[in-house]
Structure 1
Amino acid sequence: MYHCYFANKTKQNKIILLILHRFDALENMTEGDTFLLNKSSGKIETQFTDFVGKTSFGMSVFNLSNAILGSGILGLAYAMANTGIILFVLLLTCMAILSAYSIHLLLKSAGVVGISAYEQLGNRAFGRPGKILAASIITLNNIGAMSSYLFIVKIELPHIIQGLLYWFVDGRYLIIIISVLVILPLALMKRLGYLGYTSGFSLSCMVFFLISVSPLSIHLHTVRDVNCKSDNYYHTAFTIPIMAFAFVCHPEVLPIYTELKNPSKKRMQNVANISILAMFVMYLVTAIFGYLTFYGNVKSELLEMYSKKDTLMLCVRLAVLIAVTLTVPVVLFPIRRAVLQLLFPDKPFHWVRHISIAVCLLFLVNLLVIFVPNIRDIFGFIGATSAPSLIFILPGIIYICIVPEEQEPLKSRPKIQAIAFVTLGFIFMIMSITFIIIEWVTGKKTSGGH
């Protein structure tokens, strides 16, 4: 009897100690974290809790690819005209690899602390100033991206519907109509994963653009007169920013990761690698054929160079417009998330806030697009400021601050690589901004028809 009593007492004490241990672990966790007992090891692991992922691997690839692919594809032939083919291929390859590496840093940082929002990672690394900085940069970058997409609508859609009433052909009115009838309903979806189907359709439209432009460029190259100049001046003021702008998808990475079915760092990294590789191939092929068609005369918006009466090009323009229009809602989601993190961090989901922010953002972007005269300025400014911040600087600094010293000392190889990565980002930003300011001040234009 006594033996049985003491055995039960010992068992109770062990249970109490285990419960206290788990409460201690809970107490040390920060906001946004949760715990889940690993049945095999008995350890407490950090997990994402804000949404149970239901988006398939393929749909996640479509969404991330759609976030990468956008108006930047139309500026890459212009970038090649400024660098030459060999240097362009090297720079584009480097940008793709560095973009994939920066996503690796983001995912590892998110996995350490269990946070699924870029802004919260900034908050964990630097407190509220870091949160504000990350949210502001995301907002600036994605407003620029949305503006560039709608700028293409403003330029190209009038050519598609020529013959209608004059006011309807005016691009300024058309971007408002498209924003209200197409973009806003998609932007009001509750979850980003729901846009997987429209993202897939958007990508198929861009593939049609790619297939059409490639043989078309060969045909045009054989029939164009010899006035096309093959010389270029190797000015790179807008070249690297355009490339950086073309690969920015980082604000969308963590929301897509959160909604991914059976989420894991390796699985999401595979989503990112496949998306970046696919977009790299599309970018490279489009830039080469666009450049070989027009050489040094290529403009910063490639479609401007093609015939506005040709039936095939009319279809190509329509495909591109559909693609960029369906991309705008995907890009809008991270901006809304950033605004909510700043203004309503502790509030639950509410449809009024959800809809109001989308309407205000679309109104602001429409005003910007109506009054900005040149899409190259959007490519250059966003590519030189927010793009390096999101690709290089913030992921590297967040990784250095969040991954604990015990796990990876500051002098370890991963931390040294991250420091070099951040340094490269600052060099790239300073260099690009300097070149762009010099060109604006002196009034000298790089090759490319502007």
Structure 2
Amino acid sequence: MTAISSAGDRKHRRGSKVPLLPQKRDDRDYDDCQSAEVGFDGASFSGAVFNLSTTIVGAGIMALPAILNQLGLIPGLLMILLGAWVTELSIDLVLRFGRASKTSTSYSGVVADAFGGFARTLLQVCIVVNNLGMLIVYLIIIGDVLAGTWSEGVHHSGLVEEWLGSHHWWTARSTLLLLTTFLVLGPLISFKRVDSLRYTSALSVLLAVVFVVITAGVAIVKLAEGSIGMPRLMPQVKDQADFWKLFTTVPVIVTAYICHHNVHPIENELKDPSQMKPIVRASLTLCSSVYIATSFFGVLLFGDKIMDDVLTNFDGDLGIPYSSLIDDIVRISYGVHLMLVFPIVFYSLRLNLDGLFFPYAIPISRDNKRFFSITIALMGFIFVGANFVPNIWDAFQFTGATAAVAVGFIFPAAIALSLSRNAHGIATKRDRVAAWLMLFLAVTTSTVAICSDVYSILSPDSDITS
């Protein structure tokens, strides 16, 4: 497949050159779209860093402490750093190929240039599946924070339940999620420009840092008191099941770094698109630092009692003064954090779903009827899913082992390998080696993780962490 697509492919790739939103004002291809964007001279470096960081830091941050406890301190921290490095490499490959082809301003467009329209459609399906699953998980966790949840026969109270009491219609889970959808999420997902979310993204990153600071503070206090010990450095592998269980951690780490679907929309709005590479590096540095601190202090604080969702650990006595107040602050900050992450992930979900169903239509930002119809339909589906999906972590694991791995590693690796066979000649030997490594790790770990998940579901005696 050559890098220069046929005329038919160009027609099919309406979405690759025309993103959901207009680019900065000096782009000639969008002059007819600028009437609604007067005064927008392009997104800033800091705004882009916050938006990309918010795309990265979502529900995965709460699963990482359990992953670190399962892998052991040394392998776990190395895996978090490896995830950041491979993510930066994969994004760099996608960006370089897009700039070399000069025909694509979206991830799906880059894939279409490399492999054709079918591959583009497959990528969009993967992004839709990944983002849709993640948003359902976000809304479920928001419901858990507000209304409480049951885990292994134990009821974990929600904030509203604690404050206003249970058994009232206004404290019911469905009611609280409906109010959250209309009052908070609805207005945020109605923005047509990703840069409009830069302030909420900055706040979401700040709230993630607040969680880290509180967790670190509590852990340090208890460590000074001598009530907790250092976590184990290496994993405990007692039998073959424990060994295979280690592979189930990979999809969670992969999902924690997925942001590829929002890289091009953010780049398209920059004042200086050449800043995208340092923006990616700054965002990954910030997020990996948050991940490492959260994982380390979470394991240090709770040890083997840590839950798959560490937020669940913050609903009881922490063994320090003002424990109840600290629990509430942690849950409030994280609940609001997810509400602010939600619109960033929803943005690329809507963009790619529109590309799947309306590949030849005018840009969705110029069609209000289509824009709000897709928005309402997606939000309705997510709301229903959040009320009826029985186990979010099983869904989380399968999504991470399939769609997330494809979006984050398989497609970028395939693009890198295709560069050695096209006219651009921008793929180095190092790129090809890294691409083969990414493919090998993605395919093997995903296969083992899926098999392990199936085994954990079918075997009632299995304790494989989801």
Which stretch of the first structure deviates more once superposed, 343-352 or 129-138? 343-352
Identity of aligned residues (%): 26
Deviation at 1:442, TM superposition (A): 2.0
Please identify, of 103-112 and 228-237, the stretch whose mean Cα deviation from structure 2 is larger. 228-237
Q: Provide the rounded CA distance (Å) in 2 between the counterparts of 1:315 and 1:28.
A: 55
Match of 1:18 in 2: none
Distance 2:225 2:464 in 1: 23
* 2:107 aligned with 1:118: yes
Which of residues 57, 68, 77 is equivalent to 1:69?
A: 57
116-125 vs 294-303, which deviates more?
116-125
Call closer, same or farther: CA 1:436–1:28 in 2, change over 3 Å: closer
Q: 2:95 aligns with which of 101, 107, 120?
A: 107
Structure 1 residues 263 and 48: CA distance shift in structure 2, 3 A: farther
C-alpha deviations, 1:419-449, integer Å up to 9, x for none? 332233222221221222222222344476x
Query: Which residue of 248, 270, 286 maps to 1:238?
Result: 248
Pick one of 317, 324, 335 that aligns with 1:321: 335
Structure 1 gaps, min length 5: 1-25, 35-46
Q: Taking structure 1 as reference, are residues 368 and 350 closer, same or farther at Cα in structure 2, changes over 3 Å only?
A: same
Structure 1 runs of 4+ aligned residues shifted over 6 Å read: 26-29, 222-231
Residue 361 of structure 1, CA deviation? 1.2
Which residue does 2:264 correspond to in 1?
Answer: 254
Alpha carbons 1:122, 1:133 under 8 Å: kept: no
The aligned runs of 1:3-402 (5 Å cut-off) are: 30=10, 49=29, 54-114=42-102, 115-158=104-147, 159-161=158-160, 162-164=162-164, 166-220=168-222, 232-233=236-237, 235-264=245-274, 267-308=275-316, 310-348=324-362, 349-401=366-418
The verdict on how the C-alpha distance between 1:86 and 1:53 changes in structure 2, with shifts beyond 3 A counting, is: farther
Take 2:251 and 2:116, find their aligned partners in 1: how far apart are those partners? 29
Q: In structure 2, what residue type is equivalent to 1:327?
A: V
Distance 1:246 1:218 in 2: 26
Q: Kindly state the Cα deviation for residue 28 of structure 1 after the two structures are TM-superposed.
A: 12
Displacement of 1:120 in angstroms is 2.0
1:374–1:279: structure 2 CA closer, same or farther, 3 Å change rule? same
Q: Any gaps of 5 or more consecutive residues in structure 2?
A: 1-5, 18-26, 34-39, 148-157, 317-322
TM-superposed CA distance for 1:27, in Å, is: 9.1
The separation in 1 between residues aligned to 2:463 and 2:181, in whole angstroms, is 33
Structure 1 CA distance for aligned equivalents of residues 115 and 289 of structure 2:
37
Q: Write the deviation string for residues 342-388 of structure 1: whole angstroms up to 9, x where unpaired.
A: 22223222111111111111111122221223332233112111121
User: Deviation string for 1:392-418 (max 9, x for gaps)?
Assistant: 101121333367634328894433432
Residue 385 of structure 1 aligns to a residue whose secondary structure is helix
- Aligned pair in 2 of structure 1 residues 298, 445: CA closer, same or farther (>3 Å)? farther
Partner Cα separation in structure 2 for residue 445 and residue 296 of structure 1: 17
Q: CA deviation at 1:315?
A: 1.3
Shift of 1:125: 2.6
Matched to 2:114, the amino acid is A
1:27/1:433 CA distance change after superposition, 3 Å: closer
The question of whether the paired residues in 2 share the 8 Å contact of 1:148 and 1:379 is answered with yes
Query: Do structure 1's residue 430 and structure 2's residue 450 form an aligned pair?
Result: no
| In structure 2, C-alpha distance between the alignment counterparts of 1:225 and 1:217, rounded to whole Å | 10
Q: CA 1:49 to 1:434, structure 2 compared with 1: closer, same or farther past 3 Å?
A: farther
Shift in alpha-carbon separation, 1:417–1:48, aligned structure 2, 3 A: farther
1:274 positional shift: 0.6
Larger Rg: 1
RMSD of equivalent CA atoms: 2.9
Equivalent pair of 1:53/1:258 in contact (CA under 8 Å): no
Maintained 8 Å contact 1:252/1:334: yes
Pair 127,447 (structure 1): closer, same or farther in 2 beyond 3 Å: closer
State the match for 1:407 in structure 2. Answer: 424
Do the aligned partners of 2:145 and 2:335 also contact (CA within 8 Å) in 1? Answer: yes
From the superposition, tell whether residues 359 and 416 of structure 1 become closer, same or farther in structure 2 (CA, over 3 Å): same
In 2, are the aligned partners of 1:63 and 1:195 still within 8 Å (CA)?
Answer: yes
Shift of 1:215: 1.2
Please give the alpha-carbon distance, in whole angstroms, between the structure 2 residues aligned to 1:382 and 1:298.
23
- Report the equivalent of 1:16: none
Maintained 8 Å contact 2:455/2:462: no
Aligned equivalent of 1:5: none
Q: CA deviation at 1:186?
A: 1.0
- Aligned letter for 1:92? I
Distance change >3 Å, CA 98–CA 409, structure 1 → 2: closer
Counterparts of 2:428 and 2:231 in 1: how far apart (Å)?
51
State the partner residue of 2:153.
none
Partner SS for 2:120: helix
SS class of match (2:340): helix
Aligned residues: 410
Distance in 1, Cα, partners of 2:359 & 2:352: 9
Q: 1:410 to 1:244 in 2, by over 3 A?
A: closer
How big is each residue's C-alpha offset from its partner over 1:236-279, in whole Å with a ceiling of 9 and x where there is no partner?
Answer: 25311111111111111111111111112xx1111111101111
